[in-house]
Amino acid sequence: MRLEKLDLNMLTIGQQQVMEDILQGPRRAQMQDIGLVGPFDVFVRAPSLGGPAQALGAAVRYGSSLPDNVREVAICTVGHFHQARFEFAAHHALAIAAGVNATTLEQLRCDQVPDFVGSEGLAYRLTRALLGIVGHTQNSS
């Protein structure tokens, strides 16, 4: 089931605030390019949860001291583990833009042991450990 497109003229004050926070915040350029996709549409629909959720996501993504490539490897690893196709696809593009090797990301997507090196390899291994993954294959648990 797909949600109906949001009618921007029918938003409540709370929904308008979440929309403004998303469109005027650090994701502004991304949203101008692709629109309100992924979880952001749902965040606007449920502002009491969506407002804090988008703020937390923005703080983790934009307020971190991690280099972009390291952060995107961690996000792609989590997205792949949880089979979150949108999350993986969106951050796959951001990872490549941050300098992560496309072939290595494809290995991750295809359940192969990716050849991440250096800080990217550390991010991959640490993320897997935090997810409780044992062994070398993506589907090990």
Question: Among residues 51, 43, 41, which one has the least CA distance to residue 7?
Answer: 41
pLDDT digits (tens, 9 = 90+) for 76-121: 999 999 999 988 998 999 999 999 999 999 999 999 999 999 999 9
Domain match, 39 and 75 both = no
Count: domains in the chain: 2
**What b/e sequence results for 97-108 when a residue is b if at least 16 CB atoms lie within 10 Å of its CB, and e otherwise?**
ebebbeebbebb
Domain match, 76 and 127 both = yes
Instruction: Identify whether 121 is part of a domain.
Output: yes
Domain match, 23 and 72 both = no
Which band of pLDDT confidence, cut at 50, 70 and 90, is reported for residue 32? low
Domain that holds residue 41: 11-62
The whole model's pTM is what?
A: 0.78
Task: List, as one string, the DSSP characters of the chain.
Answer: --PPPP-GGG--HHHHHHHHHHHHSTTHHHHHHH-S-THHHHHHHSHHHHHHHHHHHHHHHHS--S-HHHHHHHHHHHHHHTT-HHHHHHHHHHHHHTT--HHHHHHHHTTS-----HHHHHHHHHHHHHHT--SSSTT--
Domain match, 50 and 73 both = no
Instruction: Identify whether 140 is part of a domain.
Output: no
Instruction: Identify whether 19 is part of a domain.
Output: yes
pLDDT digits (tens, 9 = 90+) for 115-134: 999 999 999 999 999 999 76
Which band of pLDDT confidence, cut at 50, 70 and 90, is reported for residue 24? confident
Domain match, 126 and 74 both = yes
Instruction: Identify whether 139 is part of a domain.
Output: no
Question: Among residues 129, 137, 130, which one has the least CA distance to residue 108?
Answer: 137
Domain match, 54 and 108 both = no
Domain match, 51 and 75 both = no
Domain match, 81 and 118 both = yes
